Amino acid sequence: MADRSYPARFARLAVRLRSRVDALRLQVSRAPLDRRLARAIRNARKRTGHPGVFDEIERERGALARRSDPLVDGTLEGVGPYDRGSVSDAEKDSKSPRDCRLLYNLVRAFEPHCVIELGTNIGISGAYMAAALKDCGKGGHLTTLEGSPYRMRLAKELHTRLNLDGVAYRQGMFANTLQPVLDELPPIDVAFIDGHHQYEPTLRYFDLIARHASPTCVFIFDDIGWSDGMKKAWSELRADPRLPITTTFAGLGIALKKF
């Protein structure tokens, strides 16, 4: 049941107000990167983008949501820490269409060469970003990391059905895979951190990526209000001098590294 107490309602109102203030500040800024970010958020709210591609991805999402077969069928080695239930249950962990439209519009606005995603799940959010890279037409690529071999298999199958190339996959726990992946990649232009939603890991993954990021990298953090730990992490990220521009969109935190 939702918390209807006055302190909780006041906190939610304060978050919405701060988000609006951040958005207004970006809109009136004359800095090109700030205006790109403002445009991406505005387009996501207006559902602007590539409707045909969005519809195709959402049809695939719907088909996965109707699958009652077990996620883990014993055909692959290992399981992820949250692997249980059906394929439909795994689909419920995907980002919403609204959040995915923001990911698409951020990639389209900033036209990155190198995108990294921590938390592939079954590939929905990655599909939106890969579609945006394809629409940019500049040869950008996505590398996505996932702890579950079964979720990653579904993601690969989804991206193949959608004819999305330019995606590389790395299966394993982030603690074991992130640094080796960063060592292999060029500077990161967009980073979507959507996994291991806890205070210390979130800050640690950000720090690792920030050391290997381009001077104007866009960071997107998922579930910033999910727990007290994530709220604390986002508060510290907002105060980090490496991230002079921060704003929110629903449950996502967005930050620009500007060196």
Predicted local confidence at residue 23, as pLDDT: 61
**The pLDDT of residue 203 is above 70:** yes
Which is higher by pLDDT, 213 or 226? 213
In the predicted model, what is the mean pLDDT of residues 160-179?
96
Residue 48: predicted pLDDT = 80
- Beta strands in 106-244, from DSSP E residues, in sequence order: 114-118, 141-146, 167-171, 188-193, 213-221
Q: Is the pTM of this model over 0.85?
A: yes
Q: Whose structure tokens read 């409707």?
A: 51
Tens of pLDDT, residue by residue over 41-90, are 989 888 788 889 999 999 999 999 999 999 999 999 999 988 999 999 99
C-alpha closest to that of 247 among 102, 115, 124: 102
Mean pLDDT of 251-255: 93
Domain ranges of the chain: 6-256
Q: Which helix (H) or strand (E) holds 171?
A: strand 167-171
Looking only at the bridges linking them, the beta strands covering 213-221 and 252-256 are antiparallel
Buried (b) or exposed (e) across 61-84, using 16+ Cβ within 10 A?
Answer: beebeebeeebbeeeeeebbeebe
Please compute the mean of the pLDDT values over residues 123-137 and round it to a whole number: 97
CA gyration radius, the chain? 18
Residue 243 sits at the vertex; the CA angle it makes with 237 and 246, to the nearest 5 degrees, is 75
26-35, 191-200, 231-240 — which is least confidently predicted?
A: 26-35
Token pair for 158: 């989804």
pLDDT of residue 8: 46
Q: What is the pLDDT of residue 32?
A: 79
Q: Which residue has the higher pLDDT, 116 or 34?
A: 116
Name the architecture of domain 6-256: 3-Layer(aba) Sandwich (3.40)
Cβ–Cβ under 8 Å, residues 196 and 202: yes
**Largest separation between any pair of C-alpha atoms in the chain:** 55
Tell me: the pLDDT tens digits for 11-48?
A: 455 555 565 656 666 655 667 788 889 889 989 888 78
135-160 pLDDT, tens digit each: 999 999 999 999 999 999 999 999 99
